[in-house]
Amino acid sequence: MLSVLIWLPIIGAAIISILPDTIIPKNRVRLVSLTVAFLVLLWNVFILLKFDITNPGMQFSEYLPWNETLGLAYQLGVDGLSILMLILNSLLTWIAIYSSSENTERPKLFYSLILLVSGGVGGAFLAQNLLLFFLFYELELIPFYLLISIWGGNKRAYAGMKFLIYTAVSGALILATFLGIVWLSGSHSFALDAVNTQNLSTTMQVVLLAGIILGFGIKIPLIPFHTWLPDAYVEASAPIAILLGGILAKLGTYGLLRFGFGLFPQAWNVVAPTLAIWGAISAIYGAVVAISQKDIKRMVAYSSIGHMGYILLAAASGTKLALVGAVAQMFSHGLILAILFHLVGIIETKVGTRELDKLNGLMSPIRGLPIVSALLVLGGMASAGIPGLTGFIAEFIVFQGSFSSFPIPTLLCVASSGLTAVYFVILLNRTCFGKLNNDLAYYPKVVWAEKIPALVLAGLIIFLGVQPTWLVRWNETTTSAMVGAIPTAGKIIISQVETNQHQQ
């Protein structure tokens, strides 16, 4: 069942790259990859519908022994934490392929790399074996490096190389930590459910947890390991930026929750205050730096850094509600980032520039880009946390869940949410409103095929904002079980605001 999610995209990638031009002509490659991605999405929705939300454990498990001596086994499973991430992965792959231009150069390589990445990320979300996870985690490295370096902007070589080095270091740290965990705790396999860190000393646990945090922290990214992100997101083309921000960053937070929170329940309490403050600093930093950006894509990139800070805060808090909020924020941020990058990509293609000083008046009905601007307003509102859209739901749950454990960082994050509104209003005010420049405003028309991904995402954002049950019901049982494993002795609780999860 679950293997389909990994192997169908990879087989699709193989088909696209290997079959000769006579069978798949160059102008049909996009269509073929779109079909493959759509099939994967349908299968994923099917799995979602068959998912049992009352079961906190792993579902649809698959097990194949691979290499016993290494301890590597092909073990897959999905639970509340990962099911939404899988949907996000398939959805954003489909959106990214749809968002890509029809005349991309070297289409076969491009689309096969995207599908490869999609399969790899799916595998990482599904893996129940530490080494298998690491395998899939490293699988993205080279495809993404190629995707950024070949189809990117002006500084793509620099951005790609920076991304590669950072992510490779992250992978090395994670591998070292995994090996350390298994070796030191005396487990005989790398399987996730077999690893038990309870018998390690607290210091050792904290050291290993620090390794996990640093490794995944580069991926999320956390300040000060974030510098690869602005360059990578800005230089990548729109579909790649969607994948980078929507899926790859989520790999970092997923890893933090699964392997940090899940494997080190005792040590988590020790590092939680640091993590909470770190998350708040990250959120404020991302928002403040975004205000002064003059390139709209860079602004959205820094906004991404800010929003990931909320996830860290929620993970640090460790309450049931906060963890539900963390997963909700992961999904919602993926959607919002996807729509923002897609629209910014359209603006860049049509207008020819990304600079805030040169863009103006795009909401003009006949000569401008009215629908794109309207959806950009929607995306900006969603990112800033306006009620009625999914961003508000996720942020609200995060704040409410974390306030009882860490009030000051939560307040800082709320302030950062306000600052998000500042730079989005700057963005919308300069690009959408105002007067079109008569001498330059001869932009080509926006066709329906370019609007559809944005409309699909906007529909989802509004729907989840109005019916948040559909966002949170999947992960409640799993996250409650995860929180339940934490010993409550070391937690500072001011007043536990009991969950609203049953009050939708």
Partner 1 sequence: MSERSPEAIWLMVLPMMVLFGLVLHLPLILQSLSLLPSWTALQKDVALLLIWSSIFGVSISAVIYLGNIPKPIALPWKGLQNLLAYDFYTPKLYKVTIIFGVAQLSKLADIVDRFVVDGIVNFVGLFSLLGGESLKYGNSGQTQFYAFTVLVGVAVLGAWATWPFWSVQFINLVF
Partner 2 sequence: MVQTVPKPTSKLPPSTHEFADIIHRLEAGGSMLPDTPENLMQIIGIYKAYAVPMDFYWRDLLYIGERVFLNPLPAFKYFLPQEYLDLHNHYAGDDADLRIWRGEATAHPELLAFMEKGEIGKIPKLFHHLLHDRINMEFAEACMQAMLWHRKMYAPVNQFDAYLDSEEYKANADQAIKAYFRKNPPMLALYKLFPDMFLEQCRMMSYYANLGLFWEVMAPVFFEMSDIYDEGGFSGVPDAMNFLINGIFAVAGRPIYHHVYVDGKCYEVIPKSKGFTWLYEAALPYVEAVFYRTAPFRGTKSYNAQAGQVPNDQKDFHYGILYADVFPVGTAGIPPTLLMQDMLHFLPPYLVDYYKQHCRGEDDMLIQLGITFQRSMYNVTSAVIQALRTALLYPLDDTNPRHLQANRDFFESQLNRFTRVDYGMRDAAKLRSIQSPNYR
Between residues 232 and 369, which has the closer beta carbon with respect to partner 2?
369
Query: Which of 441, 456, 462, 481 contacts partner 2 by CB under 8 A?
Result: 441
Query: Which of 224, 407, 444, 484 contacts partner 1 by CB under 8 A?
Result: 224
How many helices (H) does the chain have, and how many strands (E)?
20, 2
Report the C-alpha gap between 260 and 368 in whole angstroms: 48
Does residue 448 belong to the site contacting partner 2 (CB under 8 A)?
no
Return the range that interacts with partner 2 (CB under 8 A); candidates 10-18, 265-273, 309-317, 362-370: 362-370
Query: Which of 196, 199, 202, 227 contacts partner 1 by CB under 8 A?
Result: 227
Number of residues that bind partner 2 (CB under 8 A): 12
Q: What is the Cα Rg of the chain in Å?
A: 22
Give the amino acid at 408: I
Does residue 340 belong to the site contacting partner 1 (CB under 8 A)?
no
Cβ distance 118 to 34 under 8 Å?
A: no
Q: Is the peptide bond before 487 cis (omega within 30 degrees of 0)?
A: no
Give the amino acid at 160: G
- Residues 87-108 as b/e (b if ≥16 CB within 10 A, e otherwise) read bbbbbbbbbbbbbbbeebeebb
Cβ distance 306 to 283 under 8 Å?
A: yes
Between residues 435 and 502, which has the closer beta carbon with respect to partner 2?
435
Does residue 367 belong to the site contacting partner 2 (CB under 8 A)?
yes
Report the C-alpha gap between 291 and 163 in whole angstroms: 24
Return the range that interacts with partner 2 (CB under 8 A); candidates 11-19, 52-60, 74-82, 438-446: 438-446
Count of CA atoms in the C-beta half-sphere (13 A) of 121: 32
Does residue 25 belong to the site contacting partner 1 (CB under 8 A)?
no
Does residue 288 belong to the site contacting partner 1 (CB under 8 A)?
yes
Give Cβ neighbours of residue 382 (< 8 Å, ≥ 6 apart): 332, 335, 336, 339, 389, 390, 391, 392, 461, 465
Query: Which of 261, 285, 392, 403 contacts partner 1 by CB under 8 A?
Result: 285
Does residue 422 belong to the site contacting partner 1 (CB under 8 A)?
yes
Q: Encoding tokens for residue 262?
A: 């899940």
In eight-state DSSP terms, residue 295 is B
Does residue 292 belong to the site contacting partner 1 (CB under 8 A)?
yes
Element of type H or E holding 422: helix 407-431
Query: Which of 20, 54, 201, 442 contacts partner 2 by CB under 8 A?
Result: 442
Report the C-alpha gap between 160 and 232 in whole angstroms: 6
Does residue 352 belong to the site contacting partner 2 (CB under 8 A)?
no
Query: Which of 435, 447, 448, 503 contacts partner 2 by CB under 8 A?
Result: 435
Cβ distance 318 to 236 under 8 Å?
A: no
Give Cβ neighbours of residue 487 (< 8 Å, ≥ 6 apart): 265, 266, 269
**Binding at 288: pick from partner 2, partner 1, none (beta carbon under 5-8 Å per type):** partner 1
Residues 150-179, one symbol each (x = binds partner 1 by CB under 8 A, - = not), give ------------x--x--------------
CB-based burial of residue 435 (10 Å sphere; 0-12 exposed, 13-18 middle, 19+ buried)? Answer: exposed
Q: Encoding tokens for residue 346?
A: 């359209």
Query: Which of 438, 489, 502, 503 contacts partner 2 by CB under 8 A?
Result: 438
Minimum distance, C-beta of residue 420 to partner 1, in the bound complex (Å): 13
Minimum distance, C-beta of residue 450 to partner 2, in the bound complex (Å): 14
Between residues 387 and 444, which has the closer beta carbon with respect to partner 2?
444
The angle subtended at Cα 307 by Cα 480 and Cα 453, nearest 5°, is: 95
Between residues 294 and 367, which has the closer beta carbon with respect to partner 2?
367
Between residues 71 and 370, which has the closer beta carbon with respect to partner 2?
370
Does residue 219 belong to the site contacting partner 1 (CB under 8 A)?
no
Does residue 17 belong to the site contacting partner 2 (CB under 8 A)?
no
Q: Which residues bind partner 2 (CB under 8 A)?
A: 364-367, 435-436, 438-439, 441-442, 444-445
Q: Which residues bind partner 1 (CB under 8 A)?
A: 162, 165, 223-224, 226-227, 285, 288-293, 422
